[in-house]
Amino acid sequence: MIVIINKKARLYISLAFISLIVVLSSFGVYFSMSKTVFNETEAESITEDGIRVPIIMYHSIMKKSPELGKYVITPAEFENDLIYLKNHGYSTINMTDLINYVHNDGELPAKPVIITFDDGNLNNYIYGKPLLEKYQMKAVISIVGIYSDQFSSTYASTPPPTSNPDYAYASWDQIKEMSNSGYFEIQNHTYNLHSTEKRKGAQRLKGEPLEVYTNVLTSDIGMLQDKLAEVTGIRPNTFTYPFGSISKESTDILKKLGFKATLSCAGGVNIINKNKEDVLFRLKRNNRPHGKSSESFFKNICP
């Protein structure tokens, strides 16, 4: 038997179906052709593939300077970022928290975010630390060892070449203080490979024998590992690539050095899974430039 539905009947059926969708939508139920999608408040940062972990990359914080730009922001911008993250329900974690989540029985908050600083600039200590304390948030700072060595030895003998927070780097005493505060986790950014003169960061040179490259990384990075363990009492578990320059062989070398995670400079948001160790290597980060409002910068990264 064939049932013929006239135009008027089809219209009533369509309207009824639309009304049903509206009613269901009001209860937070949505439909997709392939899967069910829950509303954002239910899902938080959990996705089908894992937990969403954005990482923000900062370098310098300066009050007034011609250097303000891609890698230098003001204290007010950093404070507004912290306020934005708090107001949007984000909780700061450090790399150890993330590693424990993947490797062990660690837990993560509903909306985790990682704040990172590269290089060990003195202004991170002067401007960043008080703001982290004020808002009870934490960050990861990756140190270039030779910079801190130079400023520490200078402080110990004669007046430093500059104590201007726009140009100076944190001394070992200040790094120890940051670590002990609980607001900063200290990580490895090479001892003396933060350069583009011979090689770009920790990248392998063209034609360089693998054994030579392995020795270069092991010697330099291992030296800073030992120094940071001596200063802070904690051996870093994360390596931060200078300039984001990565070679295909570097991950295996760094794993042998004991690192559980690495940070890149590639943009994007990380999806983290328990018991999948490789998700912790070459983690994506989003560089925070000067001149954008917190709302504009975080719009797609930390909505």
Q: Are residues 28 and 53 in the same domain?
A: no
Residue 244 lies in a domain: yes
Q: Are residues 195 and 242 in the same domain?
A: yes
Residue 303 lies in a domain: no
d(CA 201, CA 210): 16
Q: What six digits make up the tokens of 224? A: 């800073």
Answer for the pair 214, 270: CB distance below 8 angstroms, yes or no.
no
Looking at residues 109-126, what average pLDDT do you find?
97
Residue 34 lies in a domain: yes
Looking at residues 195-214, what average pLDDT do you find?
90
Residue 82 lies in a domain: yes
| Confidence (pLDDT) at 67 | 84
Residues 6+ apart with CB under 8 A from 134: 79
Residue 158 lies in a domain: yes
Looking at residues 215-242, what average pLDDT do you find?
97
pTM: 0.81
Q: Are residues 253 and 130 in the same domain?
A: yes
Backbone angles phi, psi at 35, to 5 degrees: -160, 165
Q: Are residues 80 and 32 in the same domain?
A: no
Asked if residue 217 has pLDDT above 70, the reply is yes
Asked if residue 231 has pLDDT above 90, the reply is yes
CA dihedral 254, 256, 257, 260 (to 10 degrees): 60
Q: Are residues 29 and 169 in the same domain?
A: no
Q: Are residues 135 and 151 in the same domain?
A: yes
Residue 109 lies in a domain: yes
3-state secondary structure of 50: coil
Q: Are residues 30 and 144 in the same domain?
A: no
pLDDT 10s digits, 150-162 = 888 655 555 555 6
Q: Are residues 84 and 173 in the same domain?
A: yes
Residue 214 lies in a domain: yes
Percent of the chain beyond pLDDT 90?
Answer: 69
How far lies 219's CA from each of 143, 194, 196, 225, 243, in Å?
A: 16, 14, 18, 10, 19
| Confidence (pLDDT) at 154 | 59
Q: Are residues 33 and 176 in the same domain?
A: no
pLDDT 10s digits, 174-198 = 999 999 999 999 999 999 999 888 8
d(CA 29, CA 27): 6
Q: Name the residue with higher pLDDT: 24 or 174.
A: 174
Looking at residues 86-91, what average pLDDT do you find?
98
| Confidence (pLDDT) at 47 | 64
Give the domain extent around 160. 44-298
Q: Number of structural domains, the chain?
A: 2
Asked if residue 19 has pLDDT above 70, the reply is no
Asked if residue 28 has pLDDT above 50, the reply is no
Q: Identify any residues that bridge with 112 across adjacent strands, giving them in sequence order.
A: 91
pLDDT 10s digits, 31-81 = 332 222 323 333 456 666 799 999 999 999 999 878 899 999 999 999 999
Looking at residues 203-209, what average pLDDT do you find?
93
Q: Are residues 27 and 104 in the same domain?
A: no
| Confidence (pLDDT) at 283 | 98
Residue 175 lies in a domain: yes
